[in-house]
Structure 1
Amino acid sequence: MMKGTYPEGLSRSTLVDPKRTALLVVDVQNAEVSPYIQENQPDYYRQVTQHVVPQIRKLIDAARAAGSEVVYTVIESLTSDGRDRSLDHKLSGLFVAKGSWEGKVVEAIAPEADDILLPKTSSGVFNSTNLDYVLRNLGVEAVVVAGVLTDQCIDMAVRDGADKGYFMICVSDACASYTTARHEQALSAFGGYCRVSTTQEIVTELGR
């Protein structure tokens, strides 16, 4: 079990200490289930609403019961016109206005009053928020990642978190991308930076 310092013999299969673990829910917001997404990415919409969100609900409930932190990030500008966005988001036409419906977390897994919610304007949550600072202040050592898109913002969170010294876990059945192929390719590509687990495995681990 993880304690204040990493024990000798740490491996990807080492069980985490729930009190030093954070569940990071990435970009599961209304923009990802909007009428535009329903029309243009119907398979992805169904995957998010019928599979990813229910799995994340289970993870959140397990994290709360175990005393783990629940941290959310969403794509949302700090301004109404998006002038604070990263160059990449500007070039990509990716814009969610400050305070907009699109920037809110999907209601079924909405944050509670004392949860941490960090808006970002880049793919990498460690790059455009103070997540690293917050996690260290909370005493977090392990980060369990779920959300969308597997091959974009999830990928960045896993790689960057690993480089910053966190024990990273990606919950494969609580993530999604626009296609199954993209999802599976991403898991294969960044699997060397984390432990890839299922929702049930994490629920069991946190509740042991």
Structure 2
Amino acid sequence: MLRIPENAILIPIDMQRAFDAPPWPRRWNDRLDDNALALLAAWRTSGRRVIHVRHDSVEPNSTLRPETPGNAFRPGFEQAADEPLVTKSVNAAFIGTDLDQRLRRLATGTIVLFGISTDMCVSTSVRVGANLGYQVILVEDACDCFDLPDAKGGVITAADIHRAHVATLRHEFARVSSTEEVIAAL
């Protein structure tokens, strides 16, 4: 049975509008918003803390640059008034940010992560968080990723990429749970 401490912190990663349009490839999880919004609502109702992470790209043509519409949070994922924001420009939410210091000041040992994309910023943040000593819970059905080209002219489907990364994270870096399991544990 999943247990979530009262001082656990929910970390939505890169729930941004840019990922819904080109040049980003096709995503697979058509339940992403439903699951993630249900999780966020239940977490807030439980009175636990949320720290949002947003990718503020420094790449000249990125749809995630701060001055672009794609940088904004997806509908429903905006911060509540008392919820802090950590901005990053690399894959890991801990690199070049004060996320670790914030978590340590809040005296938490458990972080719960979800977002876009499973294989990039979510996976990297899970791995770094685990390496820093946090107990990490990955909410796998509140994550999404993209179809990606392979080196032979084919495409690896987003669902296959997601499944492989979740398996790796489960093996060594995180406890993997569903939205339903996390909500039930609150």
Fold agreement, TM-score > 0.5: yes
Q: 2:2·2:181 contact (CA, 8 Å) conserved in 1?
A: no
| Equivalent of 2:18 in 31, 51, 54 | 31
Q: What stretches of structure 1 move > 6 A for 4+ residues in a row? A: none
Distance 1:126 1:162 in 2: 11
Using the alignment, how far apart are the partners of 1:123 and 1:114 within structure 2? 25
* SS at structure 2 position matched to 1:127: coil
**One-letter amino acid of the structure 2 residue matched with residue 51 of structure 1:** R
Alignment check: 8 A CA contact 1:76 1:95 kept: no
What secondary structure does 1:107 align onto? coil
Q: Deviations over 1:125-180 (max 9, x none)?
A: 11121100011112222111100111111111111101111110000100111110
Find the counterpart in structure 1 of residue 75 from structure 2: 107
Are 1:201 and 2:181 counterparts?
Answer: yes
Structure 1 contact 29–105 (Cα < 8 Å) conserved: yes
| Alignment-derived partner of residue 15 in structure 1 | 3
1:126 match: 94
Cα distance between partner residues in 1 of 2:67 and 2:11: 21
What amino acid does structure 2 have at the position aligned with 1:57?
L
- Residues in 2 aligned to 1:41 and 1:51: alpha-carbon distance in whole angstroms: 17
| Counterpart code for 1:205 | A
2:130 aligned with 1:162, yes or no? yes
The CA deviation at 1:95 is 5.9
Q: Deviations over 1:17-66 (max 9, x none)?
A: 12x111110111011123x15xx634x1x63xx41111111111111111
Cα RMSD (Å): 1.9
Q: CA deviation at 1:98?
A: 2.5
Gaps of 5+ in 1: 1-12, 83-88
TM alignment of 1:40-59, pairs within 5 A? 41-42=25-26, 44=27, 47=29, 50-59=30-39
DSSP 3-state at the match of 2:136: strand
Displacement of 1:101 in angstroms is 1.8
Query: Corresponding residue for 2:153?
Result: none
State the distance in 2 between where 1:177 and 1:71 align: 21
Alignment deviations for residues 87-146 of structure 1 (CA, whole Å, 9 cap, x no partner): xx68xx646322432111112222111111111100011112110001111222211110
Name the aligned partner's letter for residue 187 of structure 1.
V
* Residue 14 to residue 51, structure 1, CA distance change in 2 (3 Å): closer
- The CA distance in 1 between the partners of 2:74 and 2:66, in whole Å, is 16
Are 2:173 and 1:189 equivalent residues in the alignment? no
Alignment coverage as a number of residue pairs: 174
**Aligned sequence identity (%):** 25
Letter in 2 for 1:62: A
Structure 2: gaps (5+ residues) = 147-157
Paired residue type of 1:28: M
Q: Quick one: structure 1 residues 109 and 95, their matched pair in 2 at CA, closer, same or farther if it must change by over 3 Å?
A: closer
3-state SS, counterpart of residue 157 of structure 1: helix
Q: Is the 8 A contact 1:29 1:74 kept in 2?
A: yes
Instruction: Give the Cα–Cα distance (whole angstroms) in 2 for the partners of residues 148 and 65 of structure 1.
Output: 23
Query: How far apart, CA to CA, are the structure 1 residues paired with 2:35 and 2:64?
Result: 25
